Amino acid sequence: MRDGASLTLRINGRVVTVPVGTSVAAALALAGDFVSRGDLGGRPRGPLCGMGVCFECRATIDGVPEVLACLTPCRDGQEVVTDA
Ligand code: FES
Query: Each residue of 17-36: pLDDT tens digit?
Result: 999 999 999 999 998 878 89
Contact by Cβ (8 Å): 80, 68:
no
Distance from first CA to last CA of the chain, Å, rounded? 33
**Rounded to the nearest whole angstrom, what is the distance from the C-alpha of residue 2 to the centroid of ligand 1?**
27
Residues in the chain: 84
Pocket of ligand 1 (CB under 6 A): 25, 47-50, 52-57, 68, 70
Query: Each residue of 43-73: pLDDT tens digit?
Result: 999 999 999 999 999 999 999 999 999 999 9
The two counts, helices (H) then strands (E), for the chain are 1, 7
Instruction: State yes or no: pLDDT of 2 exceeds 80.
Output: no
Percentage of the chain modeled with pLDDT above 90:
82
The amino acid at residue 10 is R
Q: Which one of 55, 72, 82 would you pick to mutate in the ligand 1 pocket, going by the greatest count of ligand atoms within 8 A of its CB?
A: 55
In angstroms, the Cα distances linking 83 to 11, 23, 44, 57 are 11, 18, 9, 11
In this predicted structure, what is the pLDDT of residue 3? 63
Query: Each residue of 31-41: pLDDT tens digit?
Result: 887 889 999 99
